[in-house]
């Protein structure tokens, strides 16, 4: 048994890293995967590929976006992230073994993976950075340090500019690694200087030919969703990937008891750093909002309420998600005040020009039947994505709202786009035959219902008149129980008992009315704003 553990312990540790990463992302933070997936629209299209290849780091971005689309399946997305961490660890170990033959240093090869994992706790860090990092590590592992100076020079002359265009500023990693190798191993100082300078020059030389400021070329065009002034963590990870293996050149080849002691101590230290350090990088408030958004997107109303019963949400977007879930279960008026409320903001969060708040608010309006308002907010949410990407989730919703409104030419445009995707293609192909088929749409369990709920006359409204809009929805269709609940809940949030009694009487009169509901297919297009 001891011999087995000695022989296979490195493989077991790598397997443990992969399994831990999979369970972490799949069970604890699946909302992070869903968030990244809905921030892009990956198309199997030559024009899309050409657009990505037209900028430094574009190939890494294309590969990353190809992988991120699999986050539509949370298990697949978690497996991909786990494999990336393990691959980075294996490549780091290859470099360490180049400098030091002692297996006791194996635990140190996990350090870059753990740091990358920690860094990705920021929801704005895109998978492009991880893919670029791996591409740079592959180029470093392939560095022909045993070949002739001429061969090494040719390798750098070709690979440095190529790596910059493929992966971006991580090219500096190869330049730094080669510079150290030439200085430490070969004492070839001219080649060492050339490597360092040419890696920087490969970035500077392309600056006049791309529409980005110079600082973006050094930072990375698509490494982050929101570009900060500088990311010390990003630079630190790159430096550790390069310098950690080189430091092994100065450490002794350990054997016997001393080697086992070093291996055990470093393993325990890194394990504790990962267990306690990585979760601290994940902001609780941010990921609470993303979690509720994921559950709203998948319409898991029961799970939303169950989570809120364990820990009451107190952020406007999470409270709004809970209230929507209660309303979809028909429990908003009975149970709404059992939870924390923050006024009308907890029912209808104010519109802000950012992706997450707009998309949550749009979902509430959509479920109520305010189809055009939901369409406007979803479109503006997509335009507010910081890196100018489109969103597969929102393109799908825009196709649905235009289908409901009878705007078939616009709906067809969006469906044709989704036909070029992997995970939305089947849905688009199933939806295309509905275009222009009024009977099929009216009989559809979702779109037919939304046509019955939507308002059929033109009007404007402000956020201060939402109670009146709920009244309009009830008058349009007295079976709109969600609108009835919100209508009666809003005065409760205000503490206005007189208005509550007035609205109850109004609802009672509507429900007792024998007049048929207005035909949703008559009248003008709805243009509520």
Q: What is the mean pLDDT of residues 413-433?
A: 97
pLDDT at 431: 97
Q: Which residue has the higher pLDDT, 229 or 489?
A: 489
What is each CA distance from 314 to 330, 341, 356, 365, in whole angstroms? 21, 7, 16, 21
pLDDT at 256: 75
The answer, as to whether pTM is greater than 0.95, is no
Strand partners, 366: none
pLDDT in tens, 62-83: 999 999 999 999 999 999 999 9
CB 66 within 8 A of CB 36: no
pLDDT at 49: 95
**Average pLDDT across the chain, whole number:** 90
Q: Which residue has the higher pLDDT, 231 or 145?
A: 145
86: Cβ–Cβ under 8 A, 6 or more apart, which residues?
14, 17, 18, 21, 113
Kindly indicate the confidence band of residue 231, based on its pLDDT and cuts at 50, 70 and 90: confident
Kindly indicate the confidence band of residue 523, based on its pLDDT and cuts at 50, 70 and 90: very low
Kindly indicate the confidence band of residue 516, based on its pLDDT and cuts at 50, 70 and 90: very low
- For residue 150 the two structure tokens come to 């001429």
CB 473 within 8 A of CB 455: yes
pLDDT in tens, 346-373: 888 876 666 677 888 999 999 999 999 9
pLDDT at 518: 46
The conformational region for residue 388 under phi > 0 = left, psi -120 to 50 = alpha, else beta, is: left
pLDDT at 368: 95
């Amino acid at each position: 048994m001891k011999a087995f553990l000695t022989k296979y312990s490195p493989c077991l540790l790598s397997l443990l890293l992969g399994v831990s990463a999979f369970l972490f992302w799949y069970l604890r933070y699946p909302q992070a995967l869903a968030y990244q997936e809905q921030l892009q629209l990956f198309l199997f299209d030559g024009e899309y590929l050409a657009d990505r290849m037209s900028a430094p780091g574009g190939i890494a971005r294309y590969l990353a976006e190809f992988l991120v689309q699999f986050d539509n399946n949370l298990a697949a997305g978690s497996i991909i992230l786990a494999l990336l961490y393990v691959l980075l660890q294996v490549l780091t170990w290859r470099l360490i073994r180049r400098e030091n033959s002692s297996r006791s240093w194996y635990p140190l090869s996990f350090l870059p993976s753990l740091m990358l994992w920690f860094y990705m706790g920021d929801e704005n860090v895109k998978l492009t950075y991880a893919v670029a990092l791996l591409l740079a590590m592959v180029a470093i592992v392939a560095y022909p340090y045993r070949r002739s100076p001429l061969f090494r020079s040719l390798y750098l002359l070709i690979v440095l500019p190529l790596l910059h265009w493929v992966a971006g500023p991580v090219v500096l990693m190869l330049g730094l690694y080669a510079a150290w190798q030439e200085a430490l191993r070969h004492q070839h100082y001219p080649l060492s200087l050339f490597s360092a300078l040419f890696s920087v020059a490969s970035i500077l030389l392309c600056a006049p030919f791309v529409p980005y400021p110079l600082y973006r070329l050094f930072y990375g065009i698509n490494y982050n969703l929101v570009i900060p002034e500088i990311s010390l963590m990003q630079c630190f990870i790159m430096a550790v990937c390069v310098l950690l293996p080189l430091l092994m050149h100065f450490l002794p080849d350990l054997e016997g008891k001393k080697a086992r002691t070093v291996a055990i101590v470093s393993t325990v230290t890194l394990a504790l750093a990962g267990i306690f350090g990585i979760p601290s990088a994940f902001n609780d408030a941010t990921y609470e909002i993303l979690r509720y958004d994921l559950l709203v997107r998948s319409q898991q109303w029961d799970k939303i309420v169950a989570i809120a019963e364990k820990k009451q949400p107190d952020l406007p977007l999470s409270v709004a998600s809970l209230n929507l879930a209660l309303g979809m279960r028909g429990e908003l008026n009975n149970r709404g005040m059992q939870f924390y409320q923050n006024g009308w903001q907890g029912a209808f969060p104010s519109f802000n020009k950012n992706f997450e708040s707009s998309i949550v608010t749009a979902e509430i309006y959509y479920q109520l039947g305010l189809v055009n308002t939901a369409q406007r907010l979803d479109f503006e949410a997509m335009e507010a994505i910081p890196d100018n990407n489109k969103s597969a989730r929102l393109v799908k919703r825009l196709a649905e709202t235009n289908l409901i409104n009878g705007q078939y030419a616009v709906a067809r445009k969006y469906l044709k786009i989704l036909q070029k995707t992997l995970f939305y293609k089947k849905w688009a192909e199933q939806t295309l035959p509905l275009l222009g088929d009024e009977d099929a749409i009216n009989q559809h369990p979702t779109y037919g219902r939304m046509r019955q709920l939507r308002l059929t006359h033109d009007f404007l409204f402000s956020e201060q008149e939402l109670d009146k809009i709920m009244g309009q929805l009830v008058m349009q269709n007295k079976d709109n129980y969600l609108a009835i609940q919100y209508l009666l809940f809003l005065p409760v949030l205000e503490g206005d008992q007189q208005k509550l009694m007035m609205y109850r009487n109004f609802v009672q009169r509507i429900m007792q009315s024998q007049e048929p509901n207005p035909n949703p297919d008559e009248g003008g297009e709805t243009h509520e704003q």
